[in-house]
Each structure stands twice: as C-alpha cells, then as structure tokens.
Structure 1
Amino acid sequence: MTSPGTVRHFLKDTDLTPSEQAEVLDLAVRMKAAPYSVQPLAAEGSARKTVAVIFDKTSTRTRVSFSAGVSDMGGTPLIINPGEAQIGHKESVEDTAKVLERMVAAIVWRTGAHEGLVDMALNSRVPVVNALCDDYHPCQLLADLLTVREHKGRLAGLTMAYLGDAANNMANSYLLAGVTAGMHVRIAGPEGYLPAAGIVAEAEDVAARTGGSVLITVDPVAALEGADVVATDTWVSMGQEDEKAARMQLFRDYSVDAAAMAKAAADAVFLHCLPAYRGYEVAAEVIDGPQSIVWDEAENRLHAQKALLAWLLHRSGQAVVDGLPV
C-alpha cells in the first residue's frame, strides 16, 4: 500500500507488483554477491541512518537478519524488544508513527494484527515493513523465492506445494507471493484450516494476470503430485501451545516425510521457514536431507530484506540505489 506522498510500504506480499517483486529479487542477487556494494543508509546515502526494528513477538532469524542487514548497508538498527515500547496500549499506533517518522529512516515491525501495520503506514512518511503479523509473512517469502530461484533458475511456471496449517500467515503469503511470481501454488490442509476466501480470491486475481494458478485442497497428494517445491510450517505457532495435542492429530496426514517428497518431482526442493519440529510437520530425513534448502532459505532472509529496504528507500525518494528505476 502507499500512504500520502511517494513513500512505499511493504505490508503484504502483493504490495509489490510482479515487476517490482522481480526488481527486489534481482537486487537481492546483486547484494548477496557484493554484500557492501549498496549503502543507502551510509553517510552520503540517506538523511537518516537509523532503522527502528520493533518486536511484539520473539524471533531469531528476523532479529538477526534485519540487524545485520541494516548494519551492512551503513545504518544503525534500533532494536525494540517485546514489552519495551508503548505501542497500542499507552500510546496509539498513529501517534507512535508520527514520532518515529521524524527519527528513523524506516520502521520494521513484527506484530500481531495486520491492522496495526496499516495504521502505522498511513501515518508514516518513512517506509513501514511487515516483519511478520498474524495474516502475512511477506519478508520470509521474498527469501523463499530468492532461494528457489537460486536452485531452480526461475520462478514463473514452477509448482509450489504447501502442506499443513493452511489457515496461517505462511500459507497466505505462499499463495500471494507465489502467484505474483507466476508460480502454480497448491495449498493443502484439513477442513477448517484452509486460507480465507478473500485471500484465495486475491491470489486468483493475481494469477490470472501472471500466468500462475491456485489450488486449495484437503488432499495432500493432489498438492504434492509433481511439485517442484514443497513447503511446510510448524503446526503449533506462538500462542497455540494449549492446542498442541489436538493439532498433532489434526495435521498428521500433512507431514512432509520421504513418502510425501516421493510424490513431488524427482528434483523437488524442500522449504521450511523455521523453527522446525522434526518428527511432526517434517521428518528429519527430509529437512536434513539432500532436497532441503532451508539453510540457504534462512541465510537469504538477510539478502532479501536488505534488498527490500534499499528498494523501498529508493522508491520513496529517501536514498538512491544505482541501477534501480526511479
């Protein structure tokens, strides 16, 4: 979405058009090959050097990748840990945005409700980035697409299957980011744990323009058959610990083990955003096996997010990145 002026935000996967998504991924390839070649936050590059990275939820990869990435680009990450800010309880999101925009180059927020991110962006004249919310995990998907492209040489036309809890943020982002890249996205989960109708409709609309496609099914075999990419996520996310026993039973037919991978293409690759629980959503023989690209995927959070921040700052007129269109 875009708030007043030219500032660009990244709150959900479809905030980038297909061509813009490709620009970010191309920039990520370039920055991975030369990690310090793009310096939008360095002394000569930007009016502000600090990026606020706010956590309402704990994290490992998000914290490290954004912290390291901002530093790599010549800036200073300001990490605000869970409970250290007053956003949404003592101070409104709107007021917080109006304060932060005067002090930092960008705002990265890992939170719960997507509506809070929307409010932050509508009141901010600097880019706001969704580092995870209950509905979407778009930064993770940029890393995933970068990793698939590295291993497969392309994205458009590939088939990507996601199995498990398909009513969560990862399933939503796989759908939206995948079809934006022109992929055929198949989502499989039990009844009652599938993507919301609005998300599916948006994905189908994008797919109609990019040549991708959408399949939502309760049949894991239908999703897996001939897939080039197989992905899953933990069955028990933060805040769902009390449901663990029920979820283990509910999702057991959607576990990604050797038999499941055998139904995909012979050269299929496996993705998991981590943390992973071996023996539940994925077998150790898969995540630790030759088809797994999860460690490249984890590293690529750094490169994809650096590229995203640089692209947003450039497109918002707050920095200049050589090689990007104005």
Structure 2
Amino acid sequence: MNNHFEGQSFLKEIDFTPQELTYLIDFASHLKAMKQQNIPHPYLQGKNIALLFEKTSTRTRSAFTVAAHDLGAHPEFLGKDDIQLGKKESVSDTAKVLGSMFDGIEFRGFDQATVETLAKDSGVPVWNGLTDDWHPTQMIADFMTLKAHFGHLAGLTLTYVGDGRNNMANSLLVTSAMLGVNIHIGAPADLQPAATVVALAQQYADVSGSEILITADPTQAAANADALYTDVWVSMGEQVDYGARIQALLPFQINADLVAATGKAETIIMHCLPAFHDHQTKTGAALGEKYDLPALEITDDVFNSPQAVVFEEAGNRMPAIKAIMAVTLGNLFIPDCLFA
C-alpha cells in the first residue's frame, strides 16, 4: 500500500490524477457525513497549520480554520500585514522558516509562482486556497456538490458563463475535462480561456470523453446544461473599465431566460461567491446604481430559486478542504486498488 497523497501539495488540479480527484470528492462527502453524525475524525492531532492570506476571504479562511480544528490541528492565520512575505523577506526564505515550524501551509493570493515556491522550499504540504490562475480547493467542493445532486459526474454538462479567463473558468475547464464532465464556456471572444489552458483540458478530455465547447453565444453555451455556473465579472485586484466589462458580459448574465435556454427543468445554479445578485453590498449597490442594473452576473430571482445550490456549495468548501488536508498530512491508509 502506498498513500498516493501523503506529503503532497495541492497547487493546481493536475497535481493529482482524475482517480485521485475522484477519491478526494468521495472522501470529502464521507467526512461531511461523519461531521453530521458527530463522529470525531482527528486525523491531524497535534499538527500546526499556517494560513497565509494575501487576499481577503470568507469561505476559504473559514473552511481551513474549521477543518483544521475538526481534524485536531491548530491553524494560525497570517495575513498580508502579519508577516514579511515578499516584502522584507523572500518567498523562498519565508517558506523555509514556516516549514521548520508548521506541518502544512495554505496560501491564498495573487501569483501562482508564490504558492509553487512555498511548496518547493518549505518541505511540507502546501495547499492553494486561490491564486490568479487556479482554485483547486473550490473544485473539490463544486464537483462534490454536483455528484451529490446527480449521483455521478461523467456525462454531466456544466456551463460556465462570464469572464472565461479567470481562475474559476480555468479550474472548471480542466477539472471537468479530467472527470468526464462536458464543459461549456460562454464568454466574449476577448474573455475566453487562454489557448494553453484549453489545450491542457483537451488532453484530459481526449481520455475521459468530456466534450469542450467554448463559444461567444450564451444561448449555445447554456444548451443542455445540468449546471449553470458563474462568477463575479471583475476578479479581486483586477484593474478594468467596469462599464465596458459590464456591457460585454451582460448577455452572459444568469437570468430566467438563460436558465430556460438549458432546455432542462432540473438544471442547478452554482456560484463560488460572493455574488452581486442585489444591492445589499456596497460594491453591488454602487455598480448597480451607476449602471442602472438590479443585479450583475446573476439575478436575484435565480440566485434565490429552488434550483440554486450556492449555499450548499459554499458549505461543502469545509469538508472538501478537510479531505485535502487529511489525505496529504494524515498518514491515512488508502488502498492502491482505488487508483488502479
């Protein structure tokens, strides 16, 4: 028996095989059930986890913190103003220091190179809580949510509409291709995924049977979707002309018409949050009032409809992250036959 995960980092989806991603999804569901049944699972008893955050966070920070406590570990939050990461101390030097004290490191920030350096030089497992390129912990939660609703993943069709070049689009494209889920990306031509990301996804799709569709036609993108997925139209820290971006992406808003365009009554609605579905946030209100829109990437009626699973999806971030930390740091017994 060889634990395929022990000591490994999770920096992007392709760090693990499709079989290993499937195991993580199923193990996350198992841990969720154990928590609901009040069955203790302290696989990381006595471990110490560093949580490095360059970007602010609600779900990722909360999920890592609660998951660590449930696993018996101690999480230590280190925000961008708490340590010298990249300012007075190089990422490499910081990695070596933290690796000498902590058993695992989470990083959420901008540059994928930062999390890669942390993993290379710390000597402990490092988990990507989000970079500008990839969002792998979100993927375990998302596909866990899909599997819970449909009972399987292969053959489902997932449609993502909006900014097709951001970390969510990248991760959904590649992960869907890995797991045999048909993936449609609906985005304007200048906001479609990079050719390198599409080529990577296609390599996996050729093996899994996943069909990839990238189109500037939102109705074509939505056709036959089992799940409609969107994200905010401007990523954290991105400097753009909001008016031009909104005008470009308004045809890709998830609204009642786009939901109807799926042609399916059981389509679920997904969003990684936060969402500008009303004016109950300062940003949503400011943009909504300036551009005379009640909502941006998703309308309030759809966001709060019975088809929406956004809060179940958000809650699944915790068991998903728990599964990732447990398998890479918990010295678990995982039979080889699961990956044959």
Pairing 1:42-53 to 2, within 5 Å after superposition: 42-43=45-46, 49-53=47-51
1:120 lines up with 2:113 in the alignment: no
Structure 1 residue 155, shift from structure 2 partner: 0.7
Aligned to 2:30: 30
Tell me the secondary structure at the aligned position of residue 193 of structure 2.
Answer: coil
Q: Structure 1 residue aligned with 2:327, among 292, 305, 311?
A: 311
Q: Distance in 1 between matches of 2:220 and 2:16?
A: 29
Moved more, 240-249 or 26-35: 240-249
Q: Distance in 2 between matches of 1:205 and 1:261?
A: 30
Structure 1 residue runs without a partner (length 5+): 44-48, 314-318
Cα deviation digits, residues 102-125 of structure 1 (max 9, x gap): 111111000101011111111122
Structure 1 residue 323, shift from structure 2 partner: 4.6
Specify the code of the residue in structure 1 equivalent to 2:45: A
Tell me the secondary structure at the aligned position of residue 129 of structure 2.
Answer: strand
Q: Structure 1 325/104 Cα, relative in aligned 2: closer, same or farther at 3 Å?
A: farther
Pairing 1:107-186 to 2, within 5 Å after superposition: 107-186=105-184
Aligned to 2:18: 18
Tell me the secondary structure at the aligned position of residue 212 of structure 1.
Answer: coil
Specify the code of the residue in structure 1 equivalent to 2:93: D
Q: Distance in 1 between matches of 2:19 and 2:176?
A: 13
How many residues end up aligned between the 2 structures?
312
1:40 lines up with 2:37 in the alignment: no
Contact 1:236/1:243, CA 8 A, preserved across alignment: no
Specify the code of the residue in structure 1 equivalent to 2:165: A
Contact 2:100/2:122, CA 8 A, preserved across alignment: no
Aligned to 2:220: 222
Q: Distance in 2 between matches of 1:39 and 1:131?
A: 22
Aligned to 1:321: 332
Tell me the secondary structure at the aligned position of residue 54 of structure 1.
Answer: strand
Aligned to 2:313: 297
Structure 2 residue runs without a partner (length 5+): 278-294
Q: Distance in 2 between matches of 1:182 and 1:121?
A: 29
Contact 1:107/1:129, CA 8 A, preserved across alignment: yes
Q: Distance in 2 between matches of 1:224 and 1:242?
A: 26
Tell me the secondary structure at the aligned position of residue 306 of structure 1.
Answer: helix
Aligned to 1:102: 100
Cα deviation digits, residues 265-295 of structure 1 (max 9, x gap): 2211010000000111001111100110001
Q: Distance in 1 between matches of 2:205 and 2:231?
A: 23
Moved more, 95-104 or 50-59: 95-104
Q: What is the TM-score when the length of structure 2 is the normalising length? A: 0.88
Tell me the secondary structure at the aligned position of residue 251 of structure 1.
Answer: helix
Structure 1 residue 7, shift from structure 2 partner: 3.0
Aligned to 1:245: 243
Contact 1:38/1:321, CA 8 A, preserved across alignment: no
Contact 2:166/2:235, CA 8 A, preserved across alignment: no
Tell me the secondary structure at the aligned position of residue 227 of structure 1.
Answer: coil
Q: Distance in 1 between matches of 2:145 and 2:53?
A: 25
Q: Distance in 1 between matches of 2:301 and 2:89?
A: 48
Q: Distance in 2 between matches of 1:126 and 1:325?
A: 23
Q: What is the TM-score when the length of structure 1 is the normalising length? A: 0.92
Tell me the secondary structure at the aligned position of residue 123 of structure 1.
Answer: helix
Contact 2:109/2:132, CA 8 A, preserved across alignment: yes
Q: Structure 2 residue aligned with 1:259, among 257, 260, 263?
A: 257
Tell me the secondary structure at the aligned position of residue 214 of structure 2.
Answer: strand
Q: Distance in 1 between matches of 2:76 and 2:187?
A: 38
Aligned to 2:292: none
